Structure 1
Amino acid sequence: MSHPKTVQDYIRTIPDFPHAGILFRDVTTLFQDARGFRMAVDQLLSPYVGARIDMVAGLEARGFILGGAVAHQLSKGFVPIRKKGKLPAKTIEQDYALEYGRATVEIHDDAVEPGQKVLIVDDLLATGGTAEAGIRLIERLGAEVVGCAFVIDLPDLGGRARLEAMGVPVHAICSYEGL
């Protein structure tokens, strides 16, 4: 049996999830294949090999899986950026807009130190709202986000432009046009 050649070959598309008209890009099929998962982690971290990175932050929830693996490969610590109410110690929070309404993410107030260089990791970049909130949390603690790395970019939704306008470089392994 031949194996897929690119990370994108491992990603399953589910039509009409979570509702009609959406093509959901499912990375669980990527995670469950050892070769695909390793390929994704290697490609996520490749631009940062040799760069100064002190900490890797992952956005809930699939960013925990990817960010933990990237942190391990870079021999760095890992910090979760979670939905409100999930972290046990003292936190700071950041609100952001959703398609309908608002959401809040949090980070422990001692998760990163001033001056540290942080790489943010997640599976998918759409509008960039969650990533922007994560960047703002890291910056509020005095650290610097040196980049955001994603498996998938949906460029038509504007997330890359939004993050780059904040001065944060974006790295994505693959992209899908449309919604």
Structure 2
Amino acid sequence: MKKLTLALVAILGFAATPAMADIDYGLEVGIRQQSGDVKSGSTDSQMGLQFGATVHAPLSGPWHLRTGMLYTQRPLVVKATPDNKVTMNYLDIPVALMYKFEEGAGVYAGISLAMNLDKKADSGTVEDVKSPMTPFILGATFKFAENLGAGIYYETASGEAAKNLENYRAVGANLMITFD
């Protein structure tokens, strides 16, 4: 918890630097298709939501730091008799290196510090949730209007996410409202 607090203070301090006037702030909301594996059996992917705030801070030339705070749903259906829908919700803090081709378009890659907020299952319980998870993220953003844009991304978290749940993956698309 101390490391998380220190990281947030560092990010906020970095964002408050007067020399960083080029910082782009934004709100994002979107959908994601979540999938994963179970140790025995099969799963069906599920649709989840993601929303929150993001910041793009310039580093050098076209290189930027992309970070923020996002609420992320990671649902999955475990095929059984009966099927069991498992939902785990997280607070994600992405930390990615972004290359901007121009002011309104760029690609990014990095990790997300995903802290579990809650978990539930239609039948039984979700046990031994790994928190924080650190999924790898790869994505692109572009603006189609002065303060409106979209982003697409791929996320993968290999290894165990909870007891018998592993190798979570997602693709998603977010609508962005920017405040540059």
Q: Does the pair score TM above 0.5?
A: no
Band the TM-score falls in, shorter-chain normalisation: under 0.3
Name the TM-score, length of structure 1 as normaliser.
0.26
Higher relative contact order (CA 8 A, sep 6+): 2
Q: Return the structure number with greater strand share.
A: 2
Q: Return the structure number with greater helix share.
A: 1
Name the TM-score, length of structure 2 as normaliser.
0.26
